[in-house]
Amino acid sequence: MAALMLRWSCLGKRWVLACIDGGSRHGRGAAIGLTSRRKRGQSSVAQQPLIAVQKSRKGEHEWAAVVGLEIHAQISSNSKLFSGSQVHFAAPPNSLVSFFDASLPGTLPVLNRRCVEAAVMTGLALNCRINKKSLFDRKHYFYADLPAGYQITQQRLPIAVNGSLAYSVSVGKKPSQVSTRTVRIKQIQLEQDSGKSLHDEPRSQTLIDLNRAGVGLLEVVLEPDMSCGEEAASAVRELQLILQALGTSQANMAEGQLRVDANISVHHPGEPLGVRTEVKNLNSARFLAKAIDFEIKRQIHELENGRKILNETRSFDDKLGCTMPMRDKEGKQDYRFMPEPNLPPLLLYDTASLPPGADPQQVINIDWIRERLPELPGKTREKLIQQYGMLPEHSFTLLNEVGLLEFFQNVIKETRAEPKKVTSWVLNIFLGFLKQQNLAVNESPVTPSALAELLNLLDRKAISSSAARQVFEELWQSKGKTPSQIVSEKKLELMQDQEALERVCHTVMEGHPQVVMDMKRGNPRAINKLIGLVRKATLSRADPTVIKEILERKLSS
Amino acid sequence: MSSLLSAPSALREDALRRLKREMWARAVKLGLRSWVGWRRGFTSKADPQRSGRVTAEVIEHLERLALVDFGSLEAVARLEKAIAFADRLRAVDTDGVEPMESVLEDRCLYLRSDNVVEGNCAEELLQNAHRVVEEYFVAPPGNISLPKQDEQEPFSHI
């Protein structure tokens, strides 16, 4: 069989399979219209060049992929959900474990107030209905890192239901082509985290560390409204920003504070939904989109070849770039949910229903929390756009990079330059340098004050923009020097003496009569040549616009 | 039975296993017939899900889920009697009555303030462990799956 290449792309909600005959002589093969979703190698077909298609070849089928997510976010609190042991990332094994966490007999769960408040804040930020009464249940399964043999969760009646999350995806090649999508939130529930198991394959044993056992988690269940890896990754990123803005979770995927499981299925549009598989252990934003896209591709491929999809659990192997079935998870799990007998229902109040004379420590007022919600990322972006007149995609970039917004705001505070100039310098030049050297904002050698000073110099035309770039490069390399110092050291100041400049222009014009003739005849390139000559004569210390103005004036006189 | 005692041990175990299986199958049939009759006497509504017996598949499923070894006919019979006993609840008319969440449902759920007051007792906790490696508990790699029903002996201790 000749090398048949299968190209996939996400056209809106449809996956188009176009069979391309690799050995074909006529035309360069088929290309798929929407190339936008290939951002930063998130797709599993990122290596293959994308080419445009006008009509489909033989064997085109339309598939729709359906992706739902279950996101577990570790609540940022001092102590655990049901016990008083500490929540901390790195600590000696089993040192942050209480008797309850180790599931010793005679221990009982005691609910942490901060965790409930975090759940209510998150529910309100995601437009959910907060259930004034919610219940705790036990979910039973056996695994070494779950000492009790069950996890306390909220299955019957969670704390918040029916919300929505708005996120944006790019829909074209240009960064300005973005579209806002919404994904419905089925529910948010409080649950316990399990311990950590370290697999020691050679010695055929697993080492268990219970420091994480019992830490409070917020499980956010997103309805299957997404259709590809990029949408899922964008939704998760937006949720991360919201959680960080609220302070309810640090949502750092690298430290395991945000974990995502994806439920993926494919079907032909118009037909019922297909069998879904669950992909677990997606612990990095990069691999999230890759794994989902791979799984969609795999399912389509299996179905196209007449095989069936098993309702199974898979994990993503990032080195191989593919999903593999997980052992220990064969068949459908029966968790035997039962009400948690040691915890009465959780009752929440609002200002209207607050019982009079109640102990404020023992009651939670939803309205009180709503009034004190911090500003959400969507609102922050709106304000940036209104206040500084920046484009929406700029506001996204500013919020997406950790610490960049703060940097930007500090520069704005100290400079007289126009906000648009500041935006351009921060997003293009500053961010460019950071990315090139793979640095975070807080590792930048250039401080906001330094950049502010530089922009001030530029603003009052003390230096030209090319000189400013030189100064910036110099600032980046050498710490401690201020922009003014660098400017004077390298003699980058613009010539301020108008008369001297006029004399130079005059000299140059005298020295090149031919070019002047060309200019008089209306040759546009001639003037540029003159400007170049003048600049060279002034050692690049003159502003090209001023030179142009002088030359034109001289010519017309 | 006396012929079994004189046979070599491997053959003896084999024969014993077969015998037990036959006894078990016969007992189940007998048991369910009487159990179904007894149950019909009490319930007015027929439950389509309950065929009136606890099948071997259900026993295997329960053993897997709860890591309980039913081990004997009597245990299964006890289970069936327990279910029948609980079924008598259906005799009560609960139309229009809101079910309770738990018997604690009108108690106040105490909210603890977010302070660190426990932990730091690794040594004490690890004392309970059978095996310990550098302050980690040691467990076998993954869950050890139970043998399937035809592989395992139905009743190893009668």
Using a CB-CB cut-off of 8 Å, the residues of chain A touching B107 are 344
A142: nearest CB among B115, B136, B143: B143
Q: How far is B24 from chain A (nearest CA, A)?
A: 27
- Give residue B70's pLDDT band: very low, low, confident or very high (50, 70, 90): confident
A326 touches A282 (CB < 8 A): no
Phi, psi of B32 (to 5 degrees): -70, -30
Which residue in chain B is spatially nearest to A216 when comparing CA positions? B114
Which residue in chain A is spatially nearest to B140 when comparing CA positions? A205
Pairing state of beta strands A61-74 and A4-11? unpaired
- Percentage, residues of chain A above pLDDT 70: 87
Is pLDDT of A362 > 50?
yes
What total of structural domains would you count in chain B?
A: 1
Q: How far is B131 from chain A (nearest CA, A)?
A: 10
Q: State the Cα–Cα distance between residues A211 and B137, nearest whole angstrom.
A: 12
Query: Mean pLDDT across the stretch A367-395?
Result: 91
Residues in contact with A40: Cβ distance below 8 Å, sequence separation at least 6, in sequence order = A286
∠ CA A131-A135-A141, nearest 5°, is 130
CB–CB of B117 and A112 under 8 A?
A: no
Mean pLDDT of chain B: 74
Which tokens go with A238?
């937006």
CB–CB of A198 and B136 under 8 A?
A: yes
**pLDDT tens digits, residue range A533-546?**
777 777 767 777 77
Q: How far is B9 from chain A (nearest CA, A)?
A: 34
pLDDT at B43: 40
- Beta pairing partners, A63: A15
* Residue B127 near chain A (CB below 8 Å): no
B65: nearest CB among A200, A336, A341: A336
pLDDT at B6: 58
Mean pLDDT of chain A: 83
- Top residue of A131, A140, A207, A346 to mutate, by most chain B CBs within 10 Å, is A207
Range of A158-162, A388-392, A487-491, A497-501 with top mean pLDDT? A158-162
**pLDDT tens digits, residue range A419-433?**
888 888 888 888 888
pLDDT at A111: 97
Q: How far is A294 from chain B (nearest CA, A)?
A: 26
CB–CB of B117 and A207 under 8 A?
A: no
CB–CB of A204 and B140 under 8 A?
A: yes
Query: Mean pLDDT across the stretch A102-121?
Result: 96
Which residue in chain A is spatially nearest to B131 when comparing CA positions? A207
Between A391-400, B19-28, B113-122, the lowest mean confidence (pLDDT) is in B19-28
pLDDT at A542: 73
Pairing state of beta strands B132-133 and A150-153? unpaired
Q: State the Cα–Cα distance between residues A123 and A104, nearest whole angstrom.
A: 33
Q: How far is A195 from chain B (nearest CA, A)?
A: 11
Q: Look up the pTM and report it.
A: 0.76
Range of A159-168, A331-340, A409-418 with top mean pLDDT? A159-168
Q: Tell me where in chain A the CATH 1.10.10.410 domain(s) lie.
A: 498-556
- Top residue of B109, B127, B146 to mutate, by most chain A CBs within 10 Å, is B109
pLDDT at A115: 97
Strand order in the sheet with A137-140: A150-153, A137-140, A338-339
**Range of B70's domain?**
51-87
Using a CB-CB cut-off of 8 Å, the residues of chain B touching A344 are 102, 104-109
Using a CB-CB cut-off of 8 Å, the residues of chain B touching A77 are 114
Between A139-148, A263-272, B28-37, the lowest mean confidence (pLDDT) is in B28-37
- Top residue of B65, B116, B127 to mutate, by most chain A CBs within 10 Å, is B116
Per the model's pLDDT, the better-predicted residue between A467 and A271 turns out to be A271
CB–CB of A362 and B122 under 8 A?
A: no
pLDDT at A15: 54
CA dihedral angle for residue B131, residue A202, residue A319, residue A6, rounded to 10 degrees: -110
pLDDT at B10: 67
pLDDT at A7: 43
User: Pick from A274, A186, A261: which is nearest to A225 by CA?
Assistant: A186
A344: nearest CB among B109, B138, B142: B109
Which residue in chain A is spatially nearest to B138 when comparing CA positions? A207
Using a CB-CB cut-off of 8 Å, the residues of chain A touching B126 are 94
Range of A24-38, A186-200, B66-80 with top mean pLDDT? A186-200
* Residue B8 near chain A (CB below 8 Å): no
Q: Give the DSSP per-residue string, A162-196.
A: EEEEEEEEE-SSSTT-EEEEEEEEEEEEEEEPP-E
**pLDDT tens digits, residue range A250-266?**
999 988 899 999 999 99
B114: nearest CB among A112, A135, A144: A112
- Top residue of B61, B101, B111, B127 to mutate, by most chain A CBs within 10 Å, is B111
Using a CB-CB cut-off of 8 Å, the residues of chain B touching A93 are 122, 134-136
∠ CA A26-A38-A275, nearest 5°, is 95
Query: Mean pLDDT across the stretch A4-18?
Result: 45
How much is the CA Rg of chain B, to the nearest whole Å?
Answer: 24
* Residue B125 near chain A (CB below 8 Å): yes
pLDDT at A455: 85
Q: How far is A58 from chain B (nearest CA, A)?
A: 47
Is pLDDT of B8 > 80?
no
Which tokens go with A324?
């593999």
The answer to the question of residue B102 being in a domain is no
Phi, psi of A347 (to 5 degrees): -110, 130
Q: State the Cα–Cα distance between residues B73 and B53, nearest whole angstrom.
A: 13
Which residue in chain B is spatially nearest to A345 when comparing CA positions? B105
Query: Mean pLDDT across the stretch B54-76?
Result: 84
Q: State the Cα–Cα distance between residues A106 and A99, nearest whole angstrom.
A: 9
Is pLDDT of A348 > 70?
yes
Is pLDDT of A54 > 60?
no
- The amino acid at residue A2 is A
pLDDT at A37: 38
A290 touches A322 (CB < 8 A): no
CB–CB of B111 and A336 under 8 A?
A: no
pLDDT at A334: 84
Is pLDDT of B40 > 50?
no
For B:48-107, CB contacts with A below 8 A are 61, 65-67, 101-102, 104-107
Per the model's pLDDT, the better-predicted residue between A112 and A452 turns out to be A112
Q: Is it true that domain A498-556 has CATH number 1.10.10.410?
A: yes
The answer to the question of residue B105 being in a domain is no
CB–CB of B119 and A78 under 8 A?
A: no
The answer to the question of residue B71 being in a domain is yes
- Top residue of A75, A79, A107, A110 to mutate, by most chain B CBs within 10 Å, is A79
pLDDT at A332: 65
Which tokens go with A81?
């959900």
A243 touches A406 (CB < 8 A): no
The answer to the question of residue B68 being in a domain is yes
- Top residue of A94, A112, A132, A211 to mutate, by most chain B CBs within 10 Å, is A94
Q: Give the DSSP per-residue string, A440-503.
A: -GGG-SS-HHHHHHHHHHHHTTSS-HHHHHHHHHHHHHSTT--HHHHHHHHT-PPP--HHHHHH
Query: Mean pLDDT across the stretch A129-143?
Result: 94
Q: Coil, strand, or helix at residue A61?
A: strand
Q: How far is B96 from chain A (nearest CA, A)?
A: 20
pLDDT at A415: 85
CB–CB of A79 and B136 under 8 A?
A: no
* Cβ neighbour number for residue A471 with a 10 Å cutoff: 26
- Give residue B63's pLDDT band: very low, low, confident or very high (50, 70, 90): confident
- Give residue A129's pLDDT band: very low, low, confident or very high (50, 70, 90): very high
Is pLDDT of A313 > 80?
yes
Query: Mean pLDDT across the stretch A217-245?
Result: 94
Is pLDDT of A71 > 80?
yes
pLDDT at A421: 85
CB–CB of B109 and A346 under 8 A?
A: yes
A85: nearest CB among B106, B109, B118: B118
Using a CB-CB cut-off of 8 Å, the residues of chain A touching B136 are 93-94, 198, 207-209
B115: nearest CB among A84, A204, A344: A84
pLDDT at B25: 63
Pairing state of beta strands A133-134 and A129-130? unpaired
Which tokens go with A425?
């310098």
CB–CB of A199 and B141 under 8 A?
A: yes
DSSP state of A365: B
